[in-house]
A and B are shown apart, each in its own frame.
Chain A
Amino acid sequence: MLNINHSNTKNREGITLPEIIVATLILCLAMIPIAGLMGYGGKATLKDARRITAIQMLDKTMRNLLSEPFNEIPRGNNIVKSFNNVSLGDIKASNGVTYSVKLTSQYVTTNFDYNPVNVHTATFNETSPKPADFGSVESLTLTDSVLRLSLTISWIEEKSKEVQVSALTYRANFSRRTI
Protein backbone atom coordinates (compact mmCIF):
# COMPACT_ATOMS: atom_id res chain seq x y z
CA MET A 1 0.00 0.00 0.00
CA LEU A 2 1.30 3.43 -0.96
CA ASN A 3 2.09 5.62 2.02
CA ILE A 4 2.67 9.29 1.32
CA ASN A 5 4.34 11.21 4.13
CA HIS A 6 3.29 14.86 3.78
CA SER A 7 5.60 16.07 6.55
CA ASN A 8 8.71 14.92 4.52
CA THR A 9 7.56 16.81 1.38
CA LYS A 10 7.41 20.06 3.35
CA ASN A 11 11.09 19.78 4.34
CA ARG A 12 12.36 19.07 0.77
CA GLU A 13 14.91 21.72 -0.46
CA GLY A 14 14.54 23.42 -3.90
CA ILE A 15 14.39 26.70 -5.79
CA THR A 16 11.76 28.95 -4.33
CA LEU A 17 9.31 30.99 -6.39
CA PRO A 18 10.82 34.39 -5.39
CA GLU A 19 14.24 33.13 -6.53
CA ILE A 20 12.87 32.12 -9.91
CA ILE A 21 11.11 35.49 -10.31
CA VAL A 22 14.25 37.50 -9.42
CA ALA A 23 16.48 35.35 -11.66
CA THR A 24 14.11 35.69 -14.61
CA LEU A 25 13.95 39.44 -14.06
CA ILE A 26 17.77 39.74 -14.10
CA LEU A 27 17.97 37.60 -17.27
CA CYS A 28 15.34 39.75 -18.97
CA LEU A 29 17.20 42.94 -18.04
CA ALA A 30 20.46 41.49 -19.38
CA MET A 31 18.79 40.52 -22.66
CA ILE A 32 17.80 44.13 -23.44
CA PRO A 33 21.34 45.40 -24.26
CA ILE A 34 22.18 42.09 -25.93
CA ALA A 35 19.19 42.44 -28.25
CA GLY A 36 20.38 46.00 -28.95
CA LEU A 37 23.80 44.65 -29.88
CA MET A 38 22.26 42.24 -32.36
CA GLY A 39 20.43 45.13 -34.02
CA TYR A 40 23.61 47.20 -34.12
CA GLY A 41 25.47 44.28 -35.70
CA GLY A 42 22.87 44.00 -38.45
CA LYS A 43 23.05 47.74 -39.19
CA ALA A 44 26.85 47.67 -39.25
CA THR A 45 26.82 44.75 -41.68
CA LEU A 46 24.48 46.63 -44.05
CA LYS A 47 26.65 49.77 -43.77
CA ASP A 48 29.73 47.71 -44.62
CA ALA A 49 27.93 46.17 -47.59
CA ARG A 50 27.02 49.63 -48.95
CA ARG A 51 30.63 50.79 -48.62
CA ILE A 52 32.03 47.64 -50.26
CA THR A 53 29.63 48.09 -53.19
CA ALA A 54 30.85 51.71 -53.57
CA ILE A 55 34.52 50.67 -53.50
CA GLN A 56 33.90 47.93 -56.08
CA MET A 57 32.08 50.45 -58.29
CA LEU A 58 34.99 52.88 -57.90
CA ASP A 59 37.55 50.25 -58.91
CA LYS A 60 35.52 49.04 -61.90
CA THR A 61 34.83 52.56 -63.20
CA MET A 62 38.50 53.57 -62.87
CA ARG A 63 39.67 50.42 -64.71
CA ASN A 64 37.17 51.17 -67.48
CA LEU A 65 38.47 54.75 -67.69
CA LEU A 66 42.05 53.51 -68.07
CA SER A 67 41.06 51.29 -70.98
CA GLU A 68 39.00 53.90 -72.85
CA PRO A 69 40.51 55.70 -75.87
CA PHE A 70 42.19 58.86 -74.58
CA ASN A 71 40.36 61.24 -76.91
CA GLU A 72 36.95 59.92 -75.88
CA ILE A 73 37.40 60.72 -72.19
CA PRO A 74 35.52 63.99 -71.48
CA ARG A 75 37.27 66.90 -69.75
CA GLY A 76 35.76 68.96 -66.93
CA ASN A 77 34.71 68.98 -63.31
CA ASN A 78 32.06 66.73 -61.77
CA ILE A 79 31.06 65.05 -65.05
CA VAL A 80 27.93 62.92 -64.63
CA LYS A 81 27.21 61.96 -68.24
CA SER A 82 28.03 58.33 -69.07
CA PHE A 83 30.11 57.48 -72.13
CA ASN A 84 31.20 54.20 -73.79
CA ASN A 85 31.71 51.63 -71.01
CA VAL A 86 31.97 54.20 -68.24
CA SER A 87 28.81 54.69 -66.17
CA LEU A 88 28.52 58.06 -64.43
CA GLY A 89 25.73 59.97 -62.65
CA ASP A 90 23.16 58.36 -60.37
CA ILE A 91 23.43 54.59 -60.43
CA LYS A 92 21.08 52.31 -58.52
CA ALA A 93 22.97 49.26 -57.29
CA SER A 94 21.56 45.78 -56.65
CA ASN A 95 21.44 46.52 -52.90
CA GLY A 96 18.84 49.23 -53.62
CA VAL A 97 21.15 52.15 -52.80
CA THR A 98 21.60 54.98 -55.31
CA TYR A 99 25.22 56.01 -55.77
CA SER A 100 26.24 59.31 -57.31
CA VAL A 101 29.34 58.85 -59.51
CA LYS A 102 31.22 62.01 -60.55
CA LEU A 103 34.36 62.31 -62.66
CA THR A 104 36.79 65.21 -62.69
CA SER A 105 39.16 65.06 -65.64
CA GLN A 106 41.83 67.69 -66.24
CA TYR A 107 44.95 67.99 -68.37
CA VAL A 108 48.22 67.93 -66.49
CA THR A 109 51.23 69.71 -67.95
CA THR A 110 54.17 67.33 -67.99
CA ASN A 111 57.83 68.27 -68.37
CA PHE A 112 60.13 65.47 -69.46
CA ASP A 113 63.82 66.25 -68.84
CA TYR A 114 66.59 64.66 -70.87
CA ASN A 115 70.11 65.23 -72.15
CA PRO A 116 70.11 65.36 -75.98
CA VAL A 117 72.83 63.37 -77.74
CA ASN A 118 74.92 64.85 -80.50
CA VAL A 119 75.52 61.85 -82.77
CA HIS A 120 77.00 63.88 -85.62
CA THR A 121 80.42 64.65 -84.13
CA ALA A 122 83.56 62.88 -85.32
CA THR A 123 84.40 61.67 -81.79
CA PHE A 124 80.99 60.11 -81.10
CA ASN A 125 81.18 56.35 -80.50
CA GLU A 126 77.75 54.79 -80.75
CA THR A 127 78.71 51.73 -78.69
CA SER A 128 80.20 53.76 -75.85
CA PRO A 129 78.80 57.29 -75.58
CA LYS A 130 80.63 59.65 -73.21
CA PRO A 131 79.09 62.39 -71.03
CA ALA A 132 80.69 64.94 -73.38
CA ASP A 133 78.46 63.64 -76.17
CA PHE A 134 75.37 64.77 -74.25
CA GLY A 135 74.12 68.33 -74.35
CA SER A 136 72.78 70.31 -71.42
CA VAL A 137 69.39 69.38 -69.97
CA GLU A 138 66.39 70.07 -72.20
CA SER A 139 62.74 69.66 -71.39
CA LEU A 140 59.87 68.37 -73.52
CA THR A 141 56.65 70.01 -72.35
CA LEU A 142 53.33 68.32 -73.11
CA THR A 143 50.17 70.18 -72.21
CA ASP A 144 47.49 67.88 -73.61
CA SER A 145 48.84 64.36 -73.28
CA VAL A 146 48.17 63.41 -69.67
CA LEU A 147 44.81 63.50 -67.89
CA ARG A 148 44.40 63.55 -64.13
CA LEU A 149 41.31 61.46 -63.41
CA SER A 150 39.58 61.82 -60.07
CA LEU A 151 36.47 59.77 -59.38
CA THR A 152 34.13 60.33 -56.43
CA ILE A 153 31.27 58.07 -55.41
CA SER A 154 28.86 59.32 -52.79
CA TRP A 155 25.73 57.91 -51.22
CA ILE A 156 23.34 58.66 -48.38
CA GLU A 157 23.69 56.75 -45.14
CA GLU A 158 21.16 56.76 -42.32
CA LYS A 159 20.07 60.12 -40.92
CA SER A 160 20.72 61.77 -44.33
CA LYS A 161 24.48 61.64 -43.82
CA GLU A 162 26.39 61.76 -47.11
CA VAL A 163 29.39 59.45 -47.32
CA GLN A 164 31.92 59.26 -50.16
CA VAL A 165 34.92 57.33 -51.44
CA SER A 166 37.29 58.64 -54.09
CA ALA A 167 40.32 57.60 -56.10
CA LEU A 168 42.88 59.25 -58.33
CA THR A 169 44.90 58.13 -61.34
CA TYR A 170 46.50 59.38 -64.57
CA ARG A 171 45.84 58.49 -68.18
CA ALA A 172 48.40 59.10 -70.91
CA ASN A 173 47.75 59.65 -74.60
CA PHE A 174 49.75 57.00 -76.42
CA SER A 175 48.16 57.76 -79.77
CA ARG A 176 49.82 61.18 -79.77
CA ARG A 177 52.08 61.84 -82.75
CA THR A 178 55.67 61.73 -81.60
CA ILE A 179 57.81 64.73 -82.56
Chain B
Amino acid sequence: MTTATVPLTSTASVRTPWTEFWRKFKRQHAAVIAGVFVLLLVTLAILAPWIVPYDAENFFDYDSLNARPSWKHWFGVDPLGRDILSRLLMGARISLTAGFVSVAVGAIVGTVLGLVAGYREGWWDRIIMRLCDVLFAFPGILLAIGIVAILGGGMINVIIAVAIFSIPTFARLVRGNTLSLKHLTYVEAARSVGASDWTIVMRHIFPGTIAAVVVYFSLRIGTSIITAASLSFIGLGAQPPTPEWGAMLNEARSDMMTSPHVAIFPSLAIFFTVLAFNLLGDGLRDALDPKIDRR
Protein backbone atom coordinates (compact mmCIF):
# COMPACT_ATOMS: atom_id res chain seq x y z
CA MET B 1 0.00 0.00 0.00
CA THR B 2 2.86 2.35 0.71
CA THR B 3 4.30 1.53 -2.67
CA ALA B 4 0.99 2.35 -4.15
CA THR B 5 1.96 3.54 -7.54
CA VAL B 6 5.19 1.71 -8.07
CA PRO B 7 4.80 -1.31 -10.34
CA LEU B 8 6.15 -4.53 -8.93
CA THR B 9 6.62 -6.37 -12.15
CA SER B 10 7.57 -4.78 -15.39
CA THR B 11 7.43 -5.87 -18.92
CA ALA B 12 6.90 -2.46 -20.44
CA SER B 13 9.66 0.11 -20.50
CA VAL B 14 8.58 3.00 -18.22
CA ARG B 15 5.44 2.89 -16.13
CA THR B 16 4.03 6.12 -14.85
CA PRO B 17 1.01 5.94 -12.55
CA TRP B 18 -1.04 7.10 -15.50
CA THR B 19 -0.01 4.26 -17.82
CA GLU B 20 -0.55 1.84 -14.98
CA PHE B 21 -4.05 3.17 -14.51
CA TRP B 22 -4.76 2.98 -18.20
CA ARG B 23 -3.42 -0.56 -18.44
CA LYS B 24 -5.86 -1.68 -15.80
CA PHE B 25 -8.75 0.44 -16.94
CA LYS B 26 -8.79 -0.60 -20.55
CA ARG B 27 -9.18 -4.24 -19.65
CA GLN B 28 -12.65 -3.51 -18.31
CA HIS B 29 -14.84 -3.44 -21.33
CA ALA B 30 -18.01 -2.34 -19.62
CA ALA B 31 -16.24 0.59 -18.01
CA VAL B 32 -14.60 1.56 -21.27
CA ILE B 33 -17.93 1.49 -23.06
CA ALA B 34 -19.47 3.52 -20.26
CA GLY B 35 -16.58 5.95 -20.47
CA VAL B 36 -17.08 6.34 -24.20
CA PHE B 37 -20.79 6.89 -23.56
CA VAL B 38 -20.08 9.58 -20.99
CA LEU B 39 -17.60 11.27 -23.34
CA LEU B 40 -20.14 11.14 -26.14
CA LEU B 41 -22.77 12.57 -23.87
CA VAL B 42 -20.50 15.37 -22.75
CA THR B 43 -19.64 16.13 -26.38
CA LEU B 44 -23.30 16.16 -27.33
CA ALA B 45 -24.05 18.39 -24.38
CA ILE B 46 -21.37 20.85 -25.40
CA LEU B 47 -22.42 20.85 -29.04
CA ALA B 48 -26.14 20.78 -28.26
CA PRO B 49 -26.93 24.41 -29.17
CA TRP B 50 -25.55 23.83 -32.69
CA ILE B 51 -26.90 20.37 -33.39
CA VAL B 52 -30.43 20.37 -32.00
CA PRO B 53 -32.98 19.97 -34.77
CA TYR B 54 -35.40 22.43 -33.13
CA ASP B 55 -35.25 25.17 -30.55
CA ALA B 56 -35.68 23.36 -27.22
CA GLU B 57 -37.76 26.05 -25.58
CA ASN B 58 -39.26 28.23 -28.23
CA PHE B 59 -40.19 25.88 -31.02
CA PHE B 60 -43.72 24.59 -30.67
CA ASP B 61 -46.31 22.95 -32.84
CA TYR B 62 -49.78 22.96 -31.31
CA ASP B 63 -51.11 20.69 -34.03
CA SER B 64 -49.03 17.71 -33.07
CA LEU B 65 -49.23 17.66 -29.28
CA ASN B 66 -47.93 14.39 -27.86
CA ALA B 67 -47.16 13.13 -31.38
CA ARG B 68 -45.39 9.80 -31.42
CA PRO B 69 -41.80 9.48 -32.66
CA SER B 70 -41.46 10.04 -36.40
CA TRP B 71 -38.82 11.01 -38.95
CA LYS B 72 -39.58 14.62 -38.27
CA HIS B 73 -39.37 14.23 -34.50
CA TRP B 74 -37.23 11.21 -33.63
CA PHE B 75 -38.31 11.09 -30.01
CA GLY B 76 -41.77 12.52 -30.58
CA VAL B 77 -43.39 15.71 -29.38
CA ASP B 78 -44.21 16.67 -25.80
CA PRO B 79 -47.56 17.91 -24.41
CA LEU B 80 -46.57 21.48 -25.22
CA GLY B 81 -45.73 20.74 -28.84
CA ARG B 82 -41.96 20.75 -28.41
CA ASP B 83 -39.40 18.38 -29.89
CA ILE B 84 -38.34 15.91 -27.20
CA LEU B 85 -34.97 15.07 -28.76
CA SER B 86 -33.96 18.73 -28.81
CA ARG B 87 -35.01 19.16 -25.22
CA LEU B 88 -33.10 16.07 -24.13
CA LEU B 89 -29.95 17.28 -25.84
CA MET B 90 -30.18 20.72 -24.29
CA GLY B 91 -31.13 19.06 -21.03
CA ALA B 92 -27.95 17.00 -21.09
CA ARG B 93 -26.00 20.22 -20.57
CA ILE B 94 -28.08 21.12 -17.57
CA SER B 95 -28.40 17.72 -15.98
CA LEU B 96 -24.74 16.81 -16.40
CA THR B 97 -23.49 20.13 -15.11
CA ALA B 98 -25.86 20.01 -12.19
CA GLY B 99 -24.98 16.42 -11.36
CA PHE B 100 -21.26 16.95 -11.61
CA VAL B 101 -20.94 20.30 -9.92
CA SER B 102 -23.18 19.48 -7.00
CA VAL B 103 -21.47 16.19 -6.25
CA ALA B 104 -18.01 17.65 -6.73
CA VAL B 105 -18.67 20.38 -4.23
CA GLY B 106 -20.18 17.90 -1.78
CA ALA B 107 -17.34 15.43 -2.22
CA ILE B 108 -14.55 17.95 -1.78
CA VAL B 109 -15.97 19.53 1.31
CA GLY B 110 -17.10 16.19 2.72
CA THR B 111 -13.76 14.49 2.15
CA VAL B 112 -11.81 17.25 3.84
CA LEU B 113 -14.16 17.18 6.81
CA GLY B 114 -14.06 13.39 6.97
CA LEU B 115 -10.26 13.27 6.89
CA VAL B 116 -9.94 15.83 9.62
CA ALA B 117 -12.58 14.17 11.77
CA GLY B 118 -11.20 10.67 11.34
CA TYR B 119 -7.59 11.62 11.72
CA ARG B 120 -7.77 14.06 14.61
CA GLU B 121 -10.65 12.34 16.41
CA GLY B 122 -11.41 14.02 19.73
CA TRP B 123 -12.96 17.45 19.54
CA TRP B 124 -12.53 17.87 15.82
CA ASP B 125 -14.34 14.65 15.29
CA ARG B 126 -17.10 15.57 17.65
CA ILE B 127 -17.67 19.00 16.18
CA ILE B 128 -17.56 17.89 12.57
CA MET B 129 -19.76 14.90 13.16
CA ARG B 130 -22.15 17.06 15.09
CA LEU B 131 -22.34 19.44 12.17
CA CYS B 132 -23.01 16.48 9.93
CA ASP B 133 -25.72 15.29 12.28
CA VAL B 134 -27.29 18.71 12.11
CA LEU B 135 -27.09 18.74 8.32
CA PHE B 136 -28.50 15.26 8.18
CA ALA B 137 -31.30 16.19 10.45
CA PHE B 138 -32.58 18.66 7.90
CA PRO B 139 -34.33 16.55 5.31
CA GLY B 140 -33.39 17.43 1.78
CA ILE B 141 -36.69 19.06 0.99
CA LEU B 142 -36.41 21.42 3.93
CA LEU B 143 -32.93 22.36 2.92
CA ALA B 144 -34.09 22.90 -0.63
CA ILE B 145 -36.92 25.14 0.48
CA GLY B 146 -34.61 27.03 2.76
CA ILE B 147 -32.15 27.61 -0.04
CA VAL B 148 -34.88 28.60 -2.45
CA ALA B 149 -36.16 30.94 0.25
CA ILE B 150 -32.87 32.66 0.69
CA LEU B 151 -31.58 32.67 -2.87
CA GLY B 152 -34.68 32.44 -5.02
CA GLY B 153 -35.85 29.54 -7.16
CA GLY B 154 -34.23 27.63 -9.99
CA MET B 155 -31.55 25.20 -11.07
CA ILE B 156 -28.61 26.81 -9.26
CA ASN B 157 -30.34 26.35 -5.96
CA VAL B 158 -31.13 22.75 -6.71
CA ILE B 159 -27.40 22.28 -7.28
CA ILE B 160 -26.55 23.95 -4.00
CA ALA B 161 -29.11 21.91 -2.11
CA VAL B 162 -27.83 18.64 -3.53
CA ALA B 163 -24.24 19.66 -2.82
CA ILE B 164 -25.02 20.46 0.77
CA PHE B 165 -26.76 17.26 1.49
CA SER B 166 -23.96 15.30 -0.14
CA ILE B 167 -21.43 16.72 2.30
CA PRO B 168 -22.26 14.70 5.41
CA THR B 169 -22.46 11.45 3.48
CA PHE B 170 -18.98 11.89 2.11
CA ALA B 171 -17.72 13.11 5.45
CA ARG B 172 -18.97 10.07 7.31
CA LEU B 173 -17.74 7.70 4.65
CA VAL B 174 -14.24 9.15 4.59
CA ARG B 175 -14.14 9.35 8.35
CA GLY B 176 -15.04 5.67 8.65
CA ASN B 177 -12.25 4.75 6.26
CA THR B 178 -9.79 7.06 7.93
CA LEU B 179 -10.52 5.56 11.30
CA SER B 180 -9.70 2.07 10.13
CA LEU B 181 -6.74 3.13 7.99
CA LYS B 182 -4.94 5.13 10.63
CA HIS B 183 -4.50 2.10 12.81
CA LEU B 184 -2.95 0.04 10.06
CA THR B 185 0.71 -0.76 10.55
CA TYR B 186 2.06 1.35 7.75
CA VAL B 187 0.38 4.46 9.06
CA GLU B 188 1.59 3.78 12.55
CA ALA B 189 5.03 3.21 11.02
CA ALA B 190 4.94 6.50 9.19
CA ARG B 191 3.99 8.24 12.37
CA SER B 192 6.74 6.56 14.33
CA VAL B 193 9.39 7.83 11.91
CA GLY B 194 8.12 11.33 12.54
CA ALA B 195 6.15 12.06 9.38
CA SER B 196 4.04 15.21 9.71
CA ASP B 197 0.29 14.95 10.02
CA TRP B 198 -0.08 16.53 6.62
CA THR B 199 2.18 13.93 5.03
CA ILE B 200 0.45 11.09 6.77
CA VAL B 201 -2.98 12.26 5.74
CA MET B 202 -2.12 13.18 2.18
CA ARG B 203 0.30 10.36 1.41
CA HIS B 204 -1.05 7.49 3.40
CA ILE B 205 -4.64 8.01 4.36
CA PHE B 206 -6.19 10.09 1.62
CA PRO B 207 -5.20 7.65 -1.16
CA GLY B 208 -6.80 4.89 0.84
CA THR B 209 -10.10 6.72 0.89
CA ILE B 210 -10.17 7.59 -2.80
CA ALA B 211 -11.63 4.29 -3.89
CA ALA B 212 -14.65 4.68 -1.64
CA VAL B 213 -15.10 8.31 -2.60
CA VAL B 214 -14.92 7.56 -6.31
CA VAL B 215 -17.41 4.75 -6.02
CA TYR B 216 -19.75 6.97 -4.12
CA PHE B 217 -19.08 9.89 -6.42
CA SER B 218 -20.20 7.88 -9.41
CA LEU B 219 -23.33 6.73 -7.63
CA ARG B 220 -24.01 10.19 -6.39
CA ILE B 221 -24.02 11.87 -9.80
CA GLY B 222 -26.90 9.64 -10.69
CA THR B 223 -28.52 10.25 -7.35
CA SER B 224 -28.25 13.98 -7.77
CA ILE B 225 -29.96 13.85 -11.16
CA ILE B 226 -32.70 11.85 -9.50
CA THR B 227 -32.84 14.18 -6.51
CA ALA B 228 -33.36 17.08 -8.88
CA ALA B 229 -36.25 15.14 -10.39
CA SER B 230 -37.74 14.48 -6.98
CA LEU B 231 -37.49 18.15 -6.12
CA SER B 232 -39.46 18.82 -9.28
CA PHE B 233 -42.01 16.28 -8.14
CA ILE B 234 -42.67 18.19 -4.95
CA GLY B 235 -42.68 21.47 -6.82
CA LEU B 236 -39.23 22.79 -5.93
CA GLY B 237 -37.09 21.86 -8.89
CA ALA B 238 -35.94 23.64 -12.00
CA GLN B 239 -38.39 26.25 -13.22
CA PRO B 240 -40.06 25.67 -16.56
CA PRO B 241 -39.19 25.65 -19.39
CA THR B 242 -35.72 24.45 -18.32
CA PRO B 243 -35.29 21.08 -20.04
CA GLU B 244 -33.62 19.49 -17.05
CA TRP B 245 -34.25 15.75 -17.41
CA GLY B 246 -35.87 15.30 -14.04
CA ALA B 247 -38.16 18.23 -14.65
CA MET B 248 -39.02 16.79 -18.07
CA LEU B 249 -39.91 13.47 -16.52
CA ASN B 250 -41.95 15.18 -13.86
CA GLU B 251 -43.80 17.26 -16.42
CA ALA B 252 -44.57 14.08 -18.31
CA ARG B 253 -46.10 12.54 -15.21
CA SER B 254 -49.74 13.11 -15.96
CA ASP B 255 -49.37 12.35 -19.66
CA MET B 256 -47.43 9.15 -19.32
CA MET B 257 -50.48 6.90 -19.22
CA THR B 258 -51.78 8.18 -22.53
CA SER B 259 -48.53 9.08 -24.29
CA PRO B 260 -45.80 6.88 -22.83
CA HIS B 261 -43.06 8.22 -25.09
CA VAL B 262 -43.20 11.55 -23.30
CA ALA B 263 -41.94 9.86 -20.14
CA ILE B 264 -39.92 7.05 -21.69
CA PHE B 265 -37.23 9.12 -23.37
CA PRO B 266 -36.31 11.26 -20.38
CA SER B 267 -36.38 8.10 -18.23
CA LEU B 268 -34.03 6.36 -20.64
CA ALA B 269 -31.73 9.36 -20.71
CA ILE B 270 -31.57 9.37 -16.94
CA PHE B 271 -31.26 5.61 -16.77
CA PHE B 272 -28.39 5.25 -19.25
CA THR B 273 -26.53 8.22 -17.87
CA VAL B 274 -26.67 6.94 -14.33
CA LEU B 275 -25.76 3.46 -15.56
CA ALA B 276 -22.76 4.82 -17.45
CA PHE B 277 -21.51 6.82 -14.49
CA ASN B 278 -21.79 3.81 -12.26
CA LEU B 279 -19.98 1.46 -14.60
CA LEU B 280 -17.35 4.08 -15.19
CA GLY B 281 -16.99 4.55 -11.45
CA ASP B 282 -16.48 0.84 -10.97
CA GLY B 283 -13.84 0.79 -13.66
CA LEU B 284 -12.04 3.78 -12.21
CA ARG B 285 -12.14 2.22 -8.83
CA ASP B 286 -10.58 -1.01 -9.94
CA ALA B 287 -7.97 0.85 -11.90
CA LEU B 288 -7.18 3.33 -9.14
CA ASP B 289 -6.94 0.90 -6.29
CA PRO B 290 -3.39 -0.39 -6.18
CA LYS B 291 -4.41 -3.39 -4.12
CA ILE B 292 -6.47 -4.77 -6.91
CA ASP B 293 -4.49 -6.42 -9.58
CA ARG B 294 -6.52 -9.03 -11.23
CA ARG B 295 -5.07 -11.66 -13.43
B and A form one assembly = no
